[in-house]
Every structure is written in structure tokens, then in C-alpha cells.
């Protein structure tokens, strides 16, 4: 349940990042699942 909540939050953040990319910023997002925790690495180029 906790992981589902975090995934929903990640999806929401991804949508916001898509909006930023449409506005001219290029963002590459890498998601890594490790020990039931989600680590998100965001590279802004």
C-alpha cells in the first residue's frame, strides 16, 4: 500500500516533469526499484 502511494506520487511528478519538458527543459528520469524502495534519479540537461 505504501509502495502504491509512492508510485502514484512518482507518476504525478513525472507528469509535472513532462509539462516542464514541453516548456523547454529536458529532463531524463530513471527509476530504480531496490528493496521495495523507489529511488528516483533526475538528470537535468
Structural domain boundaries enclosing 14: 2-44
Q: What is the total count of domains within the chain?
A: 1
Q: Please report, for residues 6, 15, 26, 34, the alpha-carbon distance to residue 37 in angstroms, rounded to integers and kept in the order given.
A: 9, 20, 26, 5
What is the pLDDT, as a whole number, of residue 7? 82
Among 21, 24, 23, 34, CA closest to 42: 21
Q: What is the pTM of this model?
A: 0.38
Beta pairing partners, 39:
32
Residues of the chain whose pLDDT is less than 70?
1, 20-45
Amino acid at each position: 500500500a505504501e509502495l502504491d502511494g509512492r508510485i502514484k506520487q512518482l507518476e504525478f511528478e513525472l507528469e509535472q516533469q513532462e509539462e516542464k519538458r514541453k516548456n523547454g527543459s529536458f529532463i531524463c528520469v530513471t527509476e530504480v526499484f531496490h528493496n521495495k524502495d523507489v529511488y528516483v534519479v533526475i538528470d537535468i540537461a
